[in-house]
């Protein structure tokens, strides 16, 4: 049933602005969680050493915080201050190998290592 639709034309910056709203960030706890298959897939991609993860648009860092337990470093990028403020308080959000960046993917300058 997977559909291969183009990205809807209306999905622009004004939509992204919704995720800056603290009420949207705090509502995230009600979202359906990612299925375990997502983590199985991602963990299968971690073959190089050191094990590095870059997540663009991490939201509350649900994936970043979980992958941090089995990797060397996670860089998590998210333009919403509200999302990151909450992410840091959630389990694993304060781990030393998780690095939070408050910017868009386009603004993020990644220097490996």
Partner 1 sequence: MPYADNQGIRIHYQIEGEGPPLVLQHGFTQSVRDWYLAGYVDALKPAYQLILIDARGHGGSEKPHDRAAYTWPIPVYDVMAVLDHLHLPCVHFWGYSMGGEIGYGLAKYAPERIYTLLIGGSHPYASSWGTAFRDVDGTDPAAFLATFEKRLGTSLTPEAKARMLDNDLQAVAAAAQDRPSLEDVLPTMTMPCLLYVGEADGAFLRVQEGAKRMPNVTYVVLPGCHHGGAFYRADLVLPHVTKFLQAVHP
Q: Beta-carbon neighbour count of residue 91 at 10 Å?
A: 8
Under the binding rule (CB under 8 A), the answer on residue 36 touching partner 1 is no
Number of residues that bind partner 1 (CB under 8 A): 21
- Looking at 14, 36, 37, 48, which residue binds partner 1 (CB under 8 A)? 14
- Looking at 15, 41, 95, 107, which residue binds partner 1 (CB under 8 A)? 15
Under the binding rule (CB under 8 A), the answer on residue 113 touching partner 1 is no
CB 70 within 8 A of CB 44: no
- Looking at the Cβ atoms of 7 and 96, the one nearer to partner 1 is 7
Strand order across the 73-77 sheet: 52-56, 73-77, 98-101
């Amino acid at each position: 049933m997977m559909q291969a639709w183009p990205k809807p034309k209306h999905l622009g910056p004004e939509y992204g602005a919704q995720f800056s709203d603290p009420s949207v960030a705090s509502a995230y706890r009600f979202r359906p969680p990612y299925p375990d298959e997502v983590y199985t897939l991602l963990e299968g991609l971690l073959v190089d050493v050191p094990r590095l993860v870059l997540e663009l648009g991490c939201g509350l860092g649900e994936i970043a915080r979980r992958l941090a337990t089995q990797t060397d470093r996670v860089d998590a990028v998210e333009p919403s201050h509200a999302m990151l403020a909450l992410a840091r308080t959630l389990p694993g959000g304060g781990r030393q190998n998780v690095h939070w960046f408050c910017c868009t993917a386009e603004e993020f300058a990644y220097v490996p290592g």
